[in-house]
Structures are given as structure tokens and as C-alpha cells.
Amino acid sequence: MDTMWAPWRMEYILSDKEAGCIFCKALTTDDDLTLYKGPVTMVVMNKYPYINGHLLVAPVRHVSGLEQLDGKEKQILLDTVDQGVAILKEVMNPDGFNVGLNLGRVAGAGVEEHLHFHIVPRWFGDVNALTVFADVRVIPEHIKATYGNLKPHFDKMELSGD
């Protein structure tokens, strides 16, 4: 039997699980995952990413569906997604992206009470045999290093209306 060690997971396993909305909490605290906080939208790194650079883009307002946003909020939300993709292209040079949102738990929403888009950069060959055979994901860069590379670019981000 092969063993893969991941000792950094023990902190999560033993920790008290966060209560409340992770996005609303990110708005009221300073942390090393929130890249951008605007009046209408925010960008947070996924704490449990599929791959380096996995971003979450959410409205500041705590809503669960697109129909709860007005036209201006929807436009700014999509502009923020677009800016996030542009920054990831510049900094990480991926070959493509998966961009989308999961509405409702049955659709895969882990935080169904606060609407958010996922931006997942993709590279040729980023799915390896470990994922297919062992249900293990290998992420080659520490999340804090990815944050350090992305944060200066989000600090310069400007959106009209946000």
C-alpha cells in the first residue's frame, strides 16, 4: 500500500468549523485569502482549491440567486469575473479557464446562501493520474505564494461602478 502524507490537513480536521457565511465574514475581517473588496463585489481565493489560482467572485450583498441582483449589480459582478480572468492570464498564464456558478446544493453549491462564481485556471496536463486513480489532487504551489503573486494585481483593479 502506498501512503501519501498531507500533515497540513490536520489543522483543518481538528479545527472548529466556521459558522456563518464565509463571504460575509471575509468582508468584515482582514485575511490572507481575500484579494479584492469593492462596494458591490469581492474576490476571494478558494481555501480548498481545485488548482492554484481558483478564485471565488461574489456580490457584497448576501443573496443566493442571480434574480436577487439588479442589472447594475449583475454587470459589475460579471465585470469582476472578467477582471479576475484577466489578472490570472497575466500572472499565471493558464491555457484556459472553467468559469461558472452552482445554484443550489443539488447543483454542487458548497455555500448556497451566498451567490458566487468560480474561476478555475486550467493548464494542459493539469489532471494527472493521482486524481483519476486515487482521488487525490496535487496542487504545486502553496496557497500563500499564489496569494502573494495575485494580490498586487487585485490592489490595482478598478471597476466602473464598484
Looking at 54, 62, 114, 116, which residue is catalytic? 116
CA-CA distance, 59 to 75, in Å (whole number)? Answer: 11
Per the annotation, the verdict on 153 as an active-site residue is no
CA-CA distance, 138 to 155, in Å (whole number)? Answer: 28
Which alpha helices (H) appear in the chain, and where do they start and end?
9-14, 22-28, 71-92, 129-134, 143-155
Cell numbers found for residue 157? 483593479
Active-site amino acid positions? 116
